[in-house]
């Protein structure tokens, strides 16, 4: 284990911040995705190194995924054939990404992470445009199954390595490849995301060294509550406001990391 992680000082204010951010991340993941763009910068601000912040964030927000799967269980059941088809490319992709992450030198990860944050932020910001485009996409192209399998594997690889923004990317791939409703797309996205995140977290837990367990536990408690509250909050706050908050935080984090780099 890394001494600096063991010495992380979780004072009462920091505990409160981690719980609150965990709740917010759970809400965002339940509504539109993007929760990691809240937890990752928070861990960085608390002094956690970038690689450990990424892995700890992935472990901490896993609990938020269960609410999404429960909420779309009917749609997931109706797309059972596609869920089964996606298991192998998803497992291969996320396993490759997670193993690449834990074997990548920390310095190499630090150099690429600002661009990953900005990519995830831009993708999240463009989600409304992506959704509008998906509404008019033709679904009779013969290569759509290839796009479904290869696209899902590629996004899963990204999810294993970094993860933020994977939900929006999956929606884009599935929207282009499948002729189903938006609720079904969200259901399939939820099923794939929970498989991605569970496998990645299992690999990270086995590796062990880069997880700040106390912080991950606090985020997990908050994310579990946030995932449950997601639907209620979605009805209370306009989606554009939630999106602007995430984009501002993600953009500021990416730019700051570039300046510090």
Q: How large is the average pLDDT for residues 34-38?
A: 81
Cβ atoms within 10 A of the Cβ of 244, count?
12
Lowest mean pLDDT among 72-76, 138-142, 180-184: 138-142
pLDDT of residue 168: 73
Identify the three-state secondary structure at position 180: coil
Q: How large is the average pLDDT for residues 214-226?
A: 91
Q: Is the pLDDT of residue 42 over 90?
A: yes
pLDDT tens for 75-129 read: 889 999 999 999 999 999 999 999 999 888 877 777 887 888 788 778 777 767 7
pLDDT of residue 91: 97
Pick the closest to residue 147 from 186, 179, 177 (CA basis). 177
pLDDT of residue 89: 96
The segment with the largest mean pLDDT, out of 54-63, 88-97, 219-228, 242-251, is 88-97
pLDDT of residue 209: 75
The segment with the largest mean pLDDT, out of 22-26, 70-74, 236-240, is 22-26
Q: Is the pLDDT of residue 187 over 70?
A: yes
Q: Is the pLDDT of residue 170 over 90?
A: no
Higher pLDDT residue, 7 or 24? Answer: 24
Q: Residue 157: which pLDDT band, with cuts at 50, 70 and 90?
A: very high
| Structure tokens that stand for 178 in this block | 């499948």
The segment with the largest mean pLDDT, out of 3-17, 197-211, 231-245, is 197-211
Higher pLDDT residue, 45 or 111? Answer: 45
Q: What is the pTM of this model?
A: 0.78
In angstroms, rounded to a whole number, what is the distance separating the alpha carbons of residues 120 and 33? 11
Instruction: Assign residue 2 a region (left: φ > 0; alpha: ψ between -120 and 50; beta: otherwise).
Output: beta
pLDDT of residue 177: 82
Q: How large is the average pLDDT for residues 232-252?
A: 68
Q: Residue 4: which pLDDT band, with cuts at 50, 70 and 90?
A: very low
Is 149 within 8 Å of 89 (Cβ atoms)? Answer: yes
Per-domain boundaries in the chain:
11-260
Question: Which residues, 6 or more positions from 70, have their beta carbon under 8 angstroms from its beta carbon?
Answer: none
Between helices 50-60 and 80-103, what is the axis angle to 10°? 150
**Residue 220: HSE in the Cβ half-sphere, 13 Å Cα cutoff:** 16
């Amino acid at each position: 284990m890394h001494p600096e992680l063991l010495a992380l000082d979780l004072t009462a204010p920091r505990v409160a911040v981690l719980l609150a951010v965990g709740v917010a991340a759970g809400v965002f993941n339940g509504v539109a995705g993007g929760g990691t763009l809240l937890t990752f910068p928070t861990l960085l601000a608390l002094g956690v190194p970038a690689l450990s912040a990424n892995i700890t964030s992935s472990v901490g927000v896993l609990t938020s995924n269960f609410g999404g799967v429960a909420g779309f269980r009917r749609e997931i059941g109706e797309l059972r054939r596609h869920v089964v088809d996606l298991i192998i490319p998803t497992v291969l992709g996320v396993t490759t990404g997670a193993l690449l992450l834990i074997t990548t030198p920390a310095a190499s990860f630090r150099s690429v992470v600002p661009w990953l944050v900005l990519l995830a932020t831009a993708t999240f910001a463009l989600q409304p445009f992506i959704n509008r485009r998906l509404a008019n996409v033709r679904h009779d192209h013969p290569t759509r199954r290839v796009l479904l399998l290869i696209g899902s594997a590629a996004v899963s690889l990204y999810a294993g390595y970094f993860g933020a923004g994977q939900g929006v990317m999956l929606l884009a791939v599935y929207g282009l490849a499948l002729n189903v409703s938006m609720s079904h797309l969200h259901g399939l996205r939820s099923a794939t995301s929970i498989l991605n995140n569970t496998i990645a977290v299992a690999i990270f837990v086995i590796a062990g060294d880069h997880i700040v367990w106390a912080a991950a536990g606090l985020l997990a408690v908050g994310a579990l509550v946030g995932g449950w509250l997601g639907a209620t909050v979605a009805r209370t706050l306009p989606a554009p406001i939630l999106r602007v908050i995430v984009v501002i935080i993600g953009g500021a984090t990416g730019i700051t990391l570039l300046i510090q780099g």
